[in-house]
Structure 1
Amino acid sequence: MTTILPLAEIDSALVEELLDAAFGSDRHERTAYKVREGMDMLEGLSLAAVDSERQELLGTIQCWPVALTDEAGKMHPLIMVGPVAVHPDLQREGIGRAMMAALLKEIQPGGNLPLVMIGDPEYYNRFFGFSAEQTGGWSLPAPWEPERLLARIDPGVVVPEKAMLGPWKK
């Protein structure tokens, strides 16, 4: 039986082991890490999937405070989703989908910041409404594939067309 819990309840060493298994030990060099560099994860929106019978960590999803800095230097806050990690032996069993659904239940339409992620456009658009439609003019602090920079923005929320995505700094 899979249970979704706050990620803060999980030993950080187990989380690091899972992330290494899912993405490799060189994952810290990825662009997403540079976007959220120096930020603490948003504990209320970061989740874990656990096998409640065997007490094993199956997957994690983390969220981070980031911002778009527009051409005038104004910061527009967003929430970066990811990494979404599932143990390689358990992928394609719906664990990642269950974690994303649980996360999106926590995010109320119209009352939250836009979400951004780097991910598979077909999957995250089809199941969760993320797209690259509004991200074409955004820049990142390291190389990225523009079609994989995805956002989920509530109607009526305005984000800059041209901006740099990076850590949220007050």
Structure 2
Amino acid sequence: MHLHPAGAADSADIDLLLDAAFEPGRHLRTAYKLRQGVTPYADLSLIGRERGRLVGSIQYWPCELWDGERAHALTLLGPVAVAPDLQGTGLGKQLMTESLAQADAAGHGVIILIGDPEYYGRFGFEAAPTAAWAVPGPVERRRLLARLAPGVTLPVAGELRSLTSAPVRVRHAA
């Protein structure tokens, strides 16, 4: 299947796919709190269509880790969605592989997600770097995963947050 960048015109189809792929309470999940009010990265978010029907989607979003002194830029991956009748066919793996290659090429040094470590571990995601991070909602600690580019380090502790929840920094005149 050929994947291409998701555009604004794909938004309604993406929402329908997410409704079909996930349970109705998906908007209450912690990952949605991190994405709320934030625009996804257009250059990383991909879709796949089959005979005009949207059958796969992956999205990436900016977020940050606040360590008490400064914000560290992170990229939140998700959701990854495949039409229910095509799950298990390799489309999810294709979405992950192609989009991660693009993220790496674009210099996204830290990518995080909330998902099954058994699945996402094959793409380099692990829970160890996020073990002491605070998150804006409930999460199984083993499912809060990070993938760090070689040589990238992050604080052991910090607060994971969306860019819309970051405090406004006021610059004072000298």
Pair in the same fold by TM > 0.5: yes
8 Å CA contact retained: 1:40, 1:64:
yes
Distance apart, 1:104 and its partner CA: 1.5
- Post-superposition CA distance 1:92-136 (Å, at most 9, x none): 10011101111012123693230000011011112x111111110
Note if 1:133 corresponds to 2:128.
yes
| Equivalent residue in structure 2 for 1:66, among 63, 66, 69 | 63
Distance change (3 Å), C-alpha of 1:138 and 1:109:
farther
Matched residue, 2:103? 107
Q: Please identify, of 140-149 and 150-159, the stretch whose mean Cα deviation from structure 2 is larger.
A: 150-159
> Normalized against structure 1, the TM-score is what?
0.91
Amino acid at match of 2:162: P
Choose 1 or 2 for highest CA Rg. Answer: 2
8 Å CA contact retained: 1:71, 1:162:
no
Q: Give the unaligned 5+ runs of structure 1.
A: none
| Equivalent residue in structure 2 for 1:150, among 142, 145, 148 | 145
Amino acid at match of 1:160: P
Distance apart, 1:36 and its partner CA: 2.2
> Normalized against structure 2, the TM-score is what?
0.89
Matched residue, 1:82? 78
Amino acid at match of 1:36: R
CA–CA separation in structure 1 for the residues paired with 2:160 and 2:92: 25
Q: Give the unaligned 5+ runs of structure 2.
A: 169-174
Distance apart, 1:9 and its partner CA: 6.2
CA–CA separation in structure 2 for the residues paired with 1:103 and 1:110: 10
CA–CA separation in structure 1 for the residues paired with 2:35 and 2:104: 23
Amino acid at match of 1:149: L
